[in-house]
Each structure stands twice: as C-alpha cells, then as structure tokens.
Structure 1
C-alpha cells in the first residue's frame, strides 16, 4: 500500500480484517496538520459503522442536517434519506486520519512513515517496490501494490496508467484563520456577483474560509495565496473581514478533472485521489475514496488468500470507475454553477435552487448522490432490482442489525423466510429471521446475500423459493 491518507489507512484495515499482511509506505515523515477535507457523508458513516468504528467520529464531529449542491441557497435535506446517519458530519481530515490510523494499527497494519516509493517492477507473482527510507534506499516485494498516493500518484505513473482529463480553469482558495468577530451562524454560505464563499468553524478557535471570485476564473496559476489577498477577497464578497488574523494555513486548488484510464493494471491498483481528481464541490472526495477502499478491500483480500472466484478483482474497476466518472460529472456541473457570476448565471442558480425546494424527488436524488447512498453497482439484466444496491441497516426480529453482522468483514446471508442455502462464498454468516420493518423495494424477498462492503450480491424471492 502506498499512501497513509484516509483511503490507504481504511484499505489497510480492511485487508487486515481479511487476513492479509499489509505494509503501508508513506513519504511524509509525520501526518499533515492541515485538513483539506472536512466532511463525512452518510454512506461513509455507514461504512465505518459496518466495522464498529463510527462512534468516535460521531462523538467529535458536528452534525449538519443537510448538504449543499453548488452552494445553492436551498440545501438538500438529508432527513428524508433511509440511513441511521441522516446528516453531514463536519470533522477535520487531520482528525479523521488520526482515528483511521488508530484503527489500522489496532488491526495490525505496518505503517511506515518517511518511506518514499520511487519505482515499481512487476513480475509473474508479485511486484518489486523500490523505496527510499530514513536509512536510505531499499527494495521490498508485495503480491499487489495499491496506489492511494494522491493526484500526483507515483504508483499510477510507474504502472503507466493514463490520467486523462481537463486542466484547471478556475482556482478556489482556502484560509484557516482566527476571527475576532466570527459570524453568528455556525456555517455561512454567500453567493454574489462578486464571488462565493463558505465559512465554517474548526477546532481550536479557528475558522475556515473557502471561496472563489470572478478573478479566479483563469487558466494560469495565480501564485501562492497570501493573507492580504484572502482578506481582500472576503471583504469583497461579504463587506467585512470578521477581524481575521493569525493565518494557520493558506492554499489554492483548481478544478482540473482527471480520471485514471483503469483502476487496475496487472498487480497494481489505484484508489482515491490517485484514481480521480476534481474540484472539491460538495466535500465528496475523501468519501468516494474511502468507498473505493471498501469495495476493493474484501476483493483483494480474497484474491491474495487464493479463494476469490475468477475475475473478482476485475470487478473493482468495473464497479468503481463509473462512480468516479459520475463524481467528475457532478463536481464539474457544480463548479459551473458556483462560478456563474453573470445575470444569466444567477437566474440559473435561482431556478435550480427553487426546484430543490419545490420538487422533493429532485432534491432527494441530488441528496442520494451527494451522500453516496445512491450508488448501485451493475448487475445482470435478469437480476433482482436490489442487486448491486447498498443494503440499509435492516433491524431483525432477533434484535440483530445488519451493520453489526457485517463487522466481521464477511458475507452475510439473511434468511428472512427460512430455507436459504449458503451456496455462495465460503465465509458466509447466516442469520435467520424476518426484519422488523420491510424497507421499500424489499417486499417479497425471502433471502439476500450481502457482500462485506454492504452491497447486495444476490436476492431470492418468495416466489422462487
């Protein structure tokens, strides 16, 4: 594993849960104190709950009952979503990484910081990895290598995997600062012809501004963001500077949109930002990466153990590449809306914002996409409509809940009507008994096989029983 960010740490823990030895190589000697991402969405919280580690995140994060699409005035109501976590959880990425590192260490992952991967050489039964560590260069070998090493992925380049897409035409900016006169509301979102910004509180008495202005619509690099420039941008958009002082972190980011041509080439795989690069609209990037790892972990573990069915590892690309493509599509659309500074653009934003408020199904669809709950993997044409979809946290008459049953990282066969046969994977947990409530679309289901990542693998109906 290359990269000890959230994606690499979660994947390492998943592989250890699957009984596979894992070494994580991270070029940074110490974790970054800065937090580019601040948001965990409902599906990511479900993924954490399926391994029994969500509570520390819930205890520390700020729960927001909604999300936003392109910073439109009317927000997406998450209360309508069928999940135990109908909210956005605001928590700094630095703290998320700390909690995930604790989880990976407890699972037995070997995390080596200050070890930079310089080259890969694949051979018939493994990959030779060239590394420069604190004691100098060395080589190590692995059955597979996964690049979780960001948009400038060394692993992706070494494997010769293309990263096509578009260059930046918009530059966003962020600044973590102390405010002498912070806004009264916890989260402030402003969109004007002069630009748009959001302001959110962070731990330690710090506030973050993120935003963009018409002057940021340009293809050339604007240079490093200065505190004076940040203050001027905030004043231009809001009319005040909130008494900002003591900048902790200043940064820019572009809207370059790129996706790896393939998520797997031989014994090399990609996940997270190494596989997809985009503008951070909606705060979904970290979430999609962790969900990449959830999809890949059990498949790669089964492959390394030697008990995976033929072609299982190839389904990682087949299932997650379309999710990454949709990620780029929606973030590009949001970027266009957020930077629609003209009068026509303002009319478009107003129309879509009103539609969110007036058409519940439209709002719900956007919320399901943003939250990750709407992801459905492709299934055979004659498969039950639930196949490939994420399973909700079914509560069973026995008192058990599906997310609890998934903590072992194995397939779960829910025998809801009796007589089900565990004729699929060998590592199946069988649980008998009906659900206390039948979710929408589940009427007539006699048994359902749930994958370790919480998606439906197979459905047997009462008519077919």
Structure 2
C-alpha cells in the first residue's frame, strides 16, 4: 500500500477506480479490485487508521470473507487477545468488589439488549457448521478489521492517499473527474465508501429516504471512579439504557429524548458522565476518555446503489442504529459483492447487467438491517407498552427455538440471494468443504476469481468451463465427507450453481451453461 500524506495527486493522474473512504469498507473493496488486477486509488481524509470505538464483533459472512482471503490466523489472534481483555474486565470487577462477576452462560449475541444464551442453540442445525473455521470467529472489533485490511492492501500494492479528501467530481458517460484537496484524478469509476455523511452521495444527488432519529447514544472507552456500582452487560432503567463491559472501561448509553443538538461536536468527559449518571443512576465520575463516539437511530437507504459511473457502499448507501453491530458487516458484504462485478466491468468481460445485480442483491439485505435495528429501538424504549412487549420477547428468547432463530439472523448464516436454480445451495455462501489433500475450500479462494469445483473427476464438467480460464479456475479434488458433485462459486463466495450425483456417476450439467453465461459472460472465442 503506497501511503503518503503529502501532495500525492496531480492534474491528469489516472486510475481505473477511485474509492472515497479508506475505512474497512473502502479497504475491503480496494483489496477485491486489486486481486483482479484493477488499478485502484483510495482517498482517505484521516492520516491514520481510525481507532474510535465502534462495532465490537463481526458476523459469519464477514469472517468467511476475510478467511477466504487468507486472514484467518490474524483474526484468531485478535479474538484471543479480546477474550483475554474480557477476562481481565471480570477480574477487575471482582477486585473492586462489584456484584455479579461470575461468568454468564455462553454469550451468543443480543437483540435490543436481550441476551441470547449459547447453550440454548440447536447445536445440530447445519447452518452453524457450513463456514468451517470462520464459524469460530466473532469477537473482532472494527478497528482491528481496518488495521488488518490496511495491511492486506499494502501487500497487494494498493495506493492509499491518506490526508487527502474528495472535494468534488464531474461524472461523464465514460469517466469521472475527481477533485481532491491535493489535485485532480481522472478515473473510470468512483465509489463512495465515505460513511453516513457521504460527500459522494450528496454531490451525486442520490435520494436518501428513511426515518428521522429519535435517540441519542454514546459509546466510549473511559477511565472512571465509582464504576463498581454499575451492573455488567446491558441494563434497562426508567431513564434509558446503559451497558458496561465486556472490556475494561467500555460504556454505552442510550437516551430516548431526541437526537443530539450537534452530532458532530467532540464528545467530552462531562457529556459521557452526565449520560451515564442519567441512565444508570450511579454517581460515577469519568476521569479520562480514550475513545468516544455519539450515535442516533437515523435509518435511511438509497433506492439504487449506482448512478452511472458512481456507486456507493457501506454507510454511504445505508445508515441505521448500531445495535447488533450489523453496519460493519453489511458494508463488508457490499464491498465483496461489488468488487468482482466492478472488476469484471473494468476488464470488459462482464455479462450484460452484471453491475446492476449489485443493488438487486444488496439492497434487500440493507432494508432488512434497517428494520431489524428499528425493532430493537422500539423494544428498548423506557415506556410501559415497550416494556410489556420486551418482557414477552425476553421469555420467548429463553427458548431453544427462538434463540436459534435470532442467532441465525444476527450471525448472517441464513443470508441467501435469490438466484436462478433449484439446488438448496444456490444463492448461499459455499460450504467450507474439506478435501482429501488436507486443504479446505476457504484455502482455495485466497486469490479471488470464480471457481468451478469438480468433486467427481468429471471431464464433461470441466469441458464446459473451456474459454473461461481468464476469469474462472477449475479445481478437481476429492472431498472427505458428503458433498455435491460440483459447485460453481462466484468470486464473492456465493454458490451460483450446484448439482448432486450418485457416487460413481457423472454429474448432470443442466443449468451450468446458463450460470456460466450469467455470471462470467461470453467464453473466449473458439473455446466452445
């Protein structure tokens, strides 16, 4: 990653894609484009990786995407360190004489602060066992994801201009002229990954309908006195919500008396102290702020993620309350879905309409997340009707069926795209099959690109992929357990086609040609 904070752009500079925003979403998109040999430039106004406390965990699709790009060992190390910090938090509370420091049942997430118990999950549900090693990854905070992706971008040679901000652009039919605080770039495409207050979205004129904010929330890492009087975990009171932990000094508050007067003002120790005292009733004193952010439940989404040669991803395309940590995961999913489609368009082999499937596939999931967070805000309100409903839902969440329902949706293991074909794997993330040579499918996807997985040594199957060698690899390998006869896997890890076959028989190839054309375009001339 070529990083510079001096004058790094100049008149006439060209790139195939410019990305505004170098957070996790922009960096993930840049890495996906770089894998496809696309010349990409990232503009980031901050000079260093943002360490502001934000999302504290990732879901299964995000863990899968990072695992499939070779980042599993790094994720495991981050999670190990995070769990040690949680253990330290419990030890500190015990030393301070706080009540309720015994380890709770295995945590499986929460809905509106209603804790979900891992020991109530249906352990036999196959949806929890398809992602291989990624199934065990979750406790990875947003700043760690950004740092890992920044390192990955450096390995791939991505150009990141830090301390450089997009100030304007002119989009034509064949290029985008991007103006920055350090000069001008001409690019084929511009992608706004520049957050909820996206400059790209505003200047491009994307509509941004939705619902206005009703709450003021804070999240911070602080030093304080009197914290032993706070209960660990999420707590509802007559004046709002507060949370303490799962790491030392981490606090969260939610007040339901309207949005903040100035969302962009610096978050002070006095403001955090007042909010925590108000919501908890505990006379704490905040003595130092290490990291703090202010948030609302503003929930909006652009109707279409593309306008000509300008696209949006992550919070630039959709904003919502942060409860459940869905925002980071939604943005990473946008980047992985868009990356290969934009690369195919740049490279000239994209089938007609491929780039339009980005909105078609990602918009419904974004809309679901907005409603998922709206429902949580409704359940957290400190008024009698919401509390009555919350009591009912809390009792329901204490059952195995409801816990499994919530966790499958929070974790993302049930995400499925509406793709043509009847096989149950189509539209789902490809299962992380284990092979006889000791590798797994995730190990075979680090280079990006599509993959036709031949699991029965079928020459007729492999012949169908002739002509796609520049965009699709064919892998013939034996699985160690039950598996389909063949899978066609898109570069984003989604199963585009699958077929079962009896042992020893050739796989029926109905639908394979259509899937190849739909997702990988026209084969090279003379190959078929």
Matched, 1:24 2:63: no
Matched, 1:56 2:95: no
Matched, 1:247 2:289: yes
Structure-2 separation of matches of 1:241 and 1:79: 42
Match of 1:212 in 2: 254
Match of 1:9 among 12, 27, 30: 27
Cα distance 1:421–1:120, how it changes in 2: closer, same or farther (>3 A)? Answer: same
Structure-1 separation of matches of 2:225 and 2:134: 34
Q: CA offset at residue 48 of structure 1?
A: 0.5
Q: Which moved more, 1:217-226 or 1:67-76?
A: 217-226
Match of 2:221 among 173, 176, 180: 176
Cα distance 1:183–1:264, how it changes in 2: closer, same or farther (>3 A)? Answer: farther
Q: CA offset at residue 68 of structure 1?
A: 0.9
Match of 1:389 among 428, 443, 446: 428
Contact kept, 8 Å, 1:25 with 1:112, in 2: the verdict is yes
Structure-2 separation of matches of 1:270 and 1:144: 11
Unaligned segments of structure 1, at least 5 residues: none
Cα distance 1:349–1:433, how it changes in 2: closer, same or farther (>3 A)? Answer: same
Match of 1:355 among 393, 396, 408: 396
Contact kept, 8 Å, 1:227 with 1:250, in 2: the verdict is no
Structure-2 separation of matches of 1:342 and 1:73: 20
Unaligned segments of structure 2, at least 5 residues: 1-18, 84-105, 509-528
1:328-386 C-alpha deviation (Å, 9 max, x unpaired): 010111111122x22332221122122222142x3223222211222111112x43232
Structure-2 separation of matches of 1:397 and 1:186: 50
Q: CA offset at residue 147 of structure 1?
A: 0.6
Q: CA offset at residue 428 of structure 1?
A: 2.4
Contact kept, 8 Å, 2:52 with 2:293, in 1: the verdict is no
TM-score (norm 1): 0.89
Q: Which moved more, 1:343-352 or 1:148-157?
A: 343-352
Contact kept, 8 Å, 1:74 with 1:353, in 2: the verdict is no
1:136-155 C-alpha deviation (Å, 9 max, x unpaired): xx211111111100111111
Q: Which moved more, 1:177-186 or 1:93-102?
A: 177-186
1:4-46 C-alpha deviation (Å, 9 max, x unpaired): 0000011111110111111001122333331222222222111
Match of 2:165 in 1: 116
Structure-1 separation of matches of 2:192 and 2:334: 12
Structure-2 separation of matches of 1:75 and 1:231: 31
Match of 2:369 in 1: 327
1:298-313 correspondence runs (5 A)? 298-313=340-355
Q: Which moved more, 1:9-18 or 1:150-159?
A: 150-159
Cα distance 1:422–1:276, how it changes in 2: closer, same or farther (>3 A)? Answer: farther
Q: CA offset at residue 194 of structure 1?
A: 3.1
Structure-1 separation of matches of 2:439 and 2:30: 27
Contact kept, 8 Å, 2:58 with 2:141, in 1: the verdict is no
Q: Which moved more, 1:386-395 or 1:92-101?
A: 92-101
User: In the comparison of the two structures, how many residue pairs are matched?
Assistant: 448
Cα distance 1:91–1:259, how it changes in 2: closer, same or farther (>3 A)? Answer: same
1:395-426 C-alpha deviation (Å, 9 max, x unpaired): 12332211111111021222223322363543
Match of 2:306 in 1: 264
Contact kept, 8 Å, 1:388 with 1:455, in 2: the verdict is yes
Q: CA offset at residue 432 of structure 1?
A: 2.6
Q: CA offset at residue 437 of structure 1?
A: 3.0
Match of 2:328 among 243, 262, 286: 286
Query: What value does the CA root-mean-square deviation take over the aligned residues?
Result: 2.6
Matched, 1:43 2:85: no
Matched, 1:428 2:472: yes
TM-score (norm 2): 0.79
1:298-324 C-alpha deviation (Å, 9 max, x unpaired): 111121111222221111111111111
1:223-234 correspondence runs (5 A)? 226-234=268-276
Match of 1:221 among 237, 240, 261: 261
Contact kept, 8 Å, 1:391 with 1:454, in 2: the verdict is yes
Cα distance 1:307–1:163, how it changes in 2: closer, same or farther (>3 A)? Answer: same
SS at match of 1:90: coil
Structure-2 separation of matches of 1:370 and 1:74: 11
Cα distance 1:446–1:31, how it changes in 2: closer, same or farther (>3 A)? Answer: closer
Contact kept, 8 Å, 1:175 with 1:251, in 2: the verdict is yes
Matched, 1:167 2:167: no
Structure of greater Rg = 2
Structure-2 separation of matches of 1:186 and 1:399: 47
Match of 2:155 in 1: 106
